[in-house]
Amino acid sequence: MFCLCADFGTVTAIYYMNKKIMKKSKLIMLIASVLILAAQGCTKEQPARKVYTGVVVYNICANMVIQTTGPEYLGQDTWVDSNNDVRPEYRHVFTVDNPCDMGLLNSGDTIRFSVVPHRETMCNSCMIYVETPDVHYSIQQEKS
């Protein structure tokens, strides 16, 4: 950047001002580059989530219970389904905190899922008391 003016002193002053601005611009670019590179180095890769397999035991009125089938188990050791006249006992079961995120699942459906940070979803449910296991998890269905 150079301006041609009639006065030699003015030309010299403009030349040195542009030189200072260029130095500051280079310094700002250098600092920005270092910050961008440093920020990229700070990102941590998320560890692979543990994937479980389970069967939907109960899914009525936004009350969903899943039984893990292994080889990895999760949930309450034993639970008796008092909602059923037969009162079957289940092992490794839990209540799903976010049933409305799970889509249309029926009792007996097998799913693959991972546990995610707690999140409750607001969805329509009916005014019915349904007993569910004491252990609760928010889950995300995994693609097969």
pLDDT by residue (tens digit) across 13-70?
555 556 666 677 777 776 766 666 566 655 555 556 899 999 999 898 888 999 999 8
Check pLDDT > 80 for residue 88.
yes
> How much is the pLDDT for 41?
55
State the pLDDT at residue 117. Answer: 92
Distance of alpha carbon 28 from its chain centroid, rounded? 35
Report the percentage of the chain scoring pLDDT > 70. Answer: 69
pTM for this prediction: 0.64
| 72 band by pLDDT with thresholds 50, 70 and 90 | confident
Q: CB 124: neighbour CB atoms within 10 A?
A: 7
Largest CA distance in the chain: 104
Q: Return the pLDDT at 67.
A: 97
pLDDT at residue 71 tops 70: yes
Distance CA 56, CA 28 (A): 58
* Secondary structure E strands in the chain: 52-60, 63-68, 76-80, 89-96, 110-116, 136-141
pLDDT in tens, 100-129: 888 889 999 999 999 999 876 777 777 888
Which residues on neighbouring strands pair with residue 65, listed in sequence order? 58, 95
pLDDT value of residue 125: 72
The contacts of residue 54 (CB under 8 Å, 6+ apart) are: 66, 67, 68, 69, 74, 110, 111, 113
Amino acid at site 48: A
The Cα 52–Cα 72 span in angstroms is 6
Helices (H), the chain: 8-42
The DSSP call for residue 22 is H
Q: Are 5 and 11 in contact (CB under 8 A)?
A: yes
pLDDT, position 11: 47
